[in-house]
Amino acid sequence: MRKLVLIFTVACGLVPEPAMAVTYQRSHHHTRRVRRRVVYRRSKKKSAAIVAGSAATGAAIGAIAGGGPGAGIGAIAGGASGFIYDRATHKRVVTQ
């Protein structure tokens, strides 16, 4: 019955798809829930958008603060910080 309800809610779009990762193992005497790990990964397109947006923001702040040379330095600093942020957060592990 539980599986039927879960399949119905997923089919209707009420529960996100990774909720199906939870399974049940049956032994002779009891049923126990098994926790699954789901890894959400960021696409390369979104990673590039994060780095480019950080570089553009750094360039804008550098241009306001120091003109042309400041914009270049700001773009490098913003791009580097965006890259570090992207690599630190590109995988999200969820235990369900």
pTM above 0.85, yes or no: no
Residues 6 or more apart in contact with residue 17 via CB below 8 angstroms: 10
Q: Is residue 19 part of a domain?
A: yes
| pLDDT score of 34 | 75
Residues 6 or more apart in contact with residue 45 via CB below 8 angstroms: none
Q: Is residue 96 part of a domain?
A: no
- What is the separation, in whole angstroms, between the first and last Cα of the chain? 20
Same domain, 77 and 46: yes
Same domain, 45 and 87: yes
Same domain, 30 and 43: no
Dihedrals phi, psi of 35, to nearest 5 degrees: -85, 140
| pLDDT score of 10 | 58
Return the SS3 of 15.
coil
* Grouped pLDDT means (10 residues each) for the chain, 96 residues: 58 51 62 82 95 96 93 96 95 87
CB-CB contact of 19 with 51 (8 Å): no
Return the SS3 of 25.
strand
| pLDDT score of 33 | 72
| pLDDT score of 96 | 79
The whole domain housing 84 covers 39-91
Dihedrals phi, psi of 42, to nearest 5 degrees: -85, 140
| pLDDT score of 94 | 87
Q: Is residue 1 part of a domain?
A: yes
